Homo-oligomer: A and B are copies of this chain.
Amino acid sequence: MATNDGGKEAKKSGGGVTLKTPKGTRDWSGPDMILREEVFQSITDIFKRHGGTPLDTPVFELKEILAGKYGEDQRLVYDLGDQGGEICSLRYDLTVPFARWLAMNNIQQVKRYHIAKVYRRDQPAIARGRYREFHQCDFDIAGVYDPMIPDAETLRIIVEVFEALDLGITIKLNHRKILDGMFAVAGVPAEKTRSISSAVDKLDKMAWPEVKKEMVEEKGLEEAVADRIGEFVRHSGSVPYMVKLLRENEELLSNESVKAGIDDMDLLGKYLEALGATDKISFDMSLARGLDYYTGLIYEVIYQPPKEAEAEGKKKSKKDDAASQVGSIAAGGRYDNLVGMYGKKTIPCVGISFGVDRIFTILKARREKENAGKSRTTDVYVMAFGGKDFDGLLSERMSVARRLWEAGIRAEYSPKVKPKLPQQFKAAEDRDVPLGIILGQDEMAAGQVRLKQLGQTDAQGDDKLGKLVNIDDLAAEVKKMLL
């Protein structure tokens, strides 16, 4: 049973210690862990295909490296205790360590990926896959490049990742220069740009009247200005459609920032075409993104559950609900000034961060629906069988297992000296092992063993006991049957 803070299985141990993981954290094991590894592997394969090289940084950084990077969320940073020496904090994301690494090593150009845990002292929401210790999975392209070429490749990577995971998505795009210029045209005072931008960012969770209310009542914007923003942000569509629409608006076009942004988006549209990455993209004027450091293209990936699931309506289980409420499952953008905060040199960057814990929550719900199957981690179970003076053939089982291991086959045997045959079959069944090897005194003397497909209860005649195989051919025969 999970407690509601994600720190699972609180119970007192014999020694009076509370047996739980800390609030907002969890252990990973069994099918969950195997699914997680599959997800990481799929994503890593794609990163590598694009020339990405892996980076790993310490789990904690000097506290001053993290200082002043996260606005009011800075309070969510975990600090290490002061035990003498340097003052450190757990990393809050993978972007700041990346920027620190670039500046420290004076790296001018790189495509790096990084999959690791990050830490936020936030309120956990376990059902929606929100933990205090969670994974980020980032791909960033750093360096001076011709405009929009790396940006387009990043979007292509997003498309490939969700195709590999077989998840339906929409990628919302916008451009900070267009957004900021649009605010200027609408009449937002320069000093209010970021705070109004934050309000717009809430449009995916709140209706326009509420957002407008926040702008006018909380942030002191004139109502007419808010209404003009409301008019602009309701537009969305394909990149070419939106570029055309924006270019028809002479007032917007008179703003240099908007104009530069539109030129970028026009170029991006062409590159996305060449990269075959236009399908799932929506240029959406209401996308703003929270973080301050974005300077150009911004994007957010929204999960689109399959239509059937939607149609089920009330029949949806709680798990499905949780899975479809995960919100954005990947996000990123261009941040050209962050590295310059550490180094003397500015290094333009564009990147994407995949919310793998949320992705995992969706995939797990789907997998549980599709099959309640056990996870297979062993290929062959080596058993022994004999009559009255049966000695268990333990050395023989060991030496057969050794042959299999040497051939790279995943093999196990009972850890008992004289196991009973039904026990051995049950152990194999519990592990969902597909093949059994059965040793008998007489067959061993003839240099043979029986090889049997497990889980076939209706097997007849010879196959009931498995087929006889010479020990020297065993590994090859097993490999053939595992194909």
Contacts and interface: CB of A to CB of B under 8 A. Distances in A.
A387 interface: no
Contacts of A182: none
Interface in A47-99: 48-62, 64-65, 67, 78-83, 85-86, 88, 90
A30 B50 contact: no
A322 to B, nearest CB: 22
Given A274-B398, A340-B14, A377-B48, A54 B29 contact: yes
Nearest to A66: B17
Interface string A223-260: 00000000000000000000000000000000000000
A13 B399 CA distance: 60
A83 B90 CA distance: 13
B61 A21 contact: yes
A348 to B, nearest CB: 11
A222 interface: no
Closest 6 CB pairs of A and B: A145-B415, A25-B58, A79-B81, A274-B395, A274-B398, A28-B56
Contacts of A52: 377
Interface residues of A, number: 103
A45 interface: yes
A141 B133 CA distance: 27
B412 A51 contact: yes
Nearest to A398: B274
B273 A395 contact: yes
A100 B45 CA distance: 34
A394 B271 CA distance: 8
B27 A57 contact: yes
Nearest to A51: B412
A208 to B, nearest CB: 38
